[in-house]
Structure 1
């Protein structure tokens, strides 16, 4: 086993000095501050515009009804991302962009375009139809795609495949639909106040049924097509420039086309909405759901296939690749850690699982010649994170392996009947939440055993 070069210095250490001579606008805190300010201002403006159109009472009613599907949609996309969970800050940015920036762009651009068409054609009804079926899909999908592009460019390590594209796109569209639903539901409530309609026959009830009950996934479904394009581009090699540009653009075109068909369903007659819903939306939703779940299972298989190389090198125990390649076994490990060491221990195991998954994906890209120039540095960073959590995670993972082995005896996988006795709790678990890192293992700047293999060899 070879000896690795020193680990890279901590980001807050000497390498951080590279930014000391950078221009002020290149500093991270400046960019974060500018982004937060932009989103906050967009949120205030969109709040004022929606409240102006709906009134205060309509706004509050629309807000209360529009928020109902949001937790379910976000939880669904988070569940899809459980194999290699992305950071929450990406999801918060995506939702905020969709709810504030993208919604503001859409309202302003759609209103301007509709008024311009009405003035140019002197036919307001034609302007509304053209704006809904042509202008709105282009403007709205472009505005939502901007969030995916920003994450793809500036959070490249967190954007590694189709599932990441689907999750970022879906959460962005969920935020956009949230703001749009406030506007539609608040306006419907105002209409009911003027006409005196109440109950299930009201415009508010009909709008709620169509937008929240029947089609809460409509906007996410459109934008997910763009996210899939970016996700496939993320899997492409760095030299495949044409593919990396054309695939996101193709996904965006498909999103615009489906959005236009959905908005134009009323032109197909009295039952046009239900026809488009049954003939296109439901099958498309089912197909995309199958694709994402299949991709998730493929990611778990990649974990089982790539991590054994680190078992041979001594970084992982023999059972870890199989436990980490099963969502059920991962859950058992986290539950064991929580029961034995509380939330800090469970969080350490969850972080270990995420870092190990990232390591498997990194090696997979390296073997296919798609890894970046920072492959070795990134690999060492991930191994370092695993090393500092192994005393907390390894007993939990071994327990999960033993717990799942006993019922497999009759199939030839186990050794003996009965549930195994719990493994002893590491003493470190009792104080995990009180220290920054365990006192064992390598620290930055030291040399540690490192697996001697060529990651690009098939």
Structure 2
């Protein structure tokens, strides 16, 4: 292929969002420096650090204001609040990482989205919410309802926009890898979990500091635990659930050929997220007592249950899609027929990867490569049939097929009924020492406490019976 044809192929692949094949002949530092994503990651890390430092200086130390002093969270409250906030953030993050298993994102994408929600989204939302609350308070002119107006009318839109920005960035830069609604839910959930993590630190720190400065009413730790029960246990799903609406809308738009759907679906998802958030804040602000409990039981929990059912249905749907698209390749003989069913079942894929660990060598890496390549091949076929990718996908298709053929010989496709644990016992188990006995020798062991006769005594066994020599002159007496 000439240079012009190569450049034209690269432009066509970039237009369809297809990833460029890494030149492994180049050293790793050079590949990193010339990678666009590397510099995007560096810029994002600097932005995250700046937002986190600015937010810390704004809310943690006490601030001098006209006419007095504004009490901050305090340096002693931040580690305690972070510990309680992590009890919710860590399991939620692991849950969303586990959710997207057919074609998972790279770990650094998950990390960047989580940190965006934790650093950038919280800092941006804190500035806008504070500005809006101050203006609504002035306009309200002493109206008691002004305290809740910002939480109901401003915060949902601002916070959902701040969290959803990370999703739109991923959709723009890596739209080819956004293959399903599960991908959108996983990314949105991580952004929401990161936002909730920092927001919970702020809420926990405020109640802890307030209880510490109010002597004789309630212990700071007890007040913090009460708020943790409300925010960290009963309503832990709030922010991830809201932002998931935007993720689903973006996934529908990216997987559709219609330009109208590509515009309307993300906007509809964002509006659904904001309205859900607004409803939640309205109930938490204006509803009290038994009515709040009924709202939680008959509105919040059913919404969570509906999302869980939707996710389970999507898991089965993605399995059917992979099975149908790999069948297309199996019919023409490009993919073995025995690969279709194992690649469409998560449990079978996990068992195959587990058993490959006990074969040693290149089996684990080959199994992982085959699973990822065949999954990407299925989604690539689906994109081509939908008209989302033009003939530029043919080159990517050839690359994936060659990668499958190269790694399939050492990979585990269909797992056995039981893994071969013998190799692990050989590698890591203790080998039982076989005693090396000395060759038998007469008269054997003896001495004090020995069970054999001492040297010089009569032997045991068949040799113990001894006969005298025959006397040829012997005869009966008396003859």
2:117 and 2:192 in contact (8 A); partners too? yes
* Alignment match, 1:216: 236
Q: Does 1:397 align with 2:408?
A: no
More helix by share: 1
Distance 1:248 1:140 in 2: 16
Distance 1:347 1:280 in 2: 46
2:323 and 2:344 in contact (8 A); partners too? yes
Mark the CA change 1:373 to 1:124 in structure 2 (over 3 Å): closer, same or farther. farther
Please, what is the CA RMSD of the aligned residues? 3.1
From 127, 131, 138, give the equivalent of 2:150.
131
Which runs of 5 or more structure 1 residues have no equivalent in the other structure?
A: 404-418, 431-458
* Alignment match, 1:62: 81
2:211 and 2:223 in contact (8 A); partners too? yes
In our comparison, the structure showing a higher alpha carbon Rg is 2
Spell out the pairing of 1:250-261 with structure 2 (5 A cutoff): 250-261=268-279
* Alignment match, 1:49: 58
Distance 2:99 2:35 in 1: 34
* Alignment match, 2:15: none
2:160 and 2:243 in contact (8 A); partners too? yes
* Alignment match, 1:11: 22
SS of the counterpart of 1:269? coil
Q: Does 1:203 align with 2:219?
A: no
Structure 1 residue 35: Cα displacement: 2.2
Distance 2:97 2:38 in 1: 27
Q: Does 1:295 align with 2:311?
A: no
Structure 1 residue 388: Cα displacement: 3.2
From 327, 352, 355, give the equivalent of 1:308.
327
Distance 1:362 1:283 in 2: 36
From 94, 102, 118, give the equivalent of 2:137.
118
Structure 1 residue 33: Cα displacement: 2.7
Structure 1 residue 299: Cα displacement: 0.7
Distance 1:216 1:390 in 2: 43
* Alignment match, 2:247: 227
Equivalent residues, number: 394
From 98, 118, 121, give the equivalent of 1:99.
118
Structure with more relative contact order (C-alpha pairs < 8 Å, separation 6 or more): 1
Which runs of 5 or more structure 2 residues have no equivalent in the other structure?
A: 11-19, 62-71, 428-479
From 380, 384, 388, give the equivalent of 2:398.
380
Distance 1:424 1:201 in 2: 52
What TM-score do the two structures reach when normalised by structure 2? 0.75
* Cα deviations by residue, 1:242-295 (Å, 9 ceiling, x for unpaired): 111111111111111111111111313333432322222111111111111111
Distance 1:86 1:381 in 2: 20
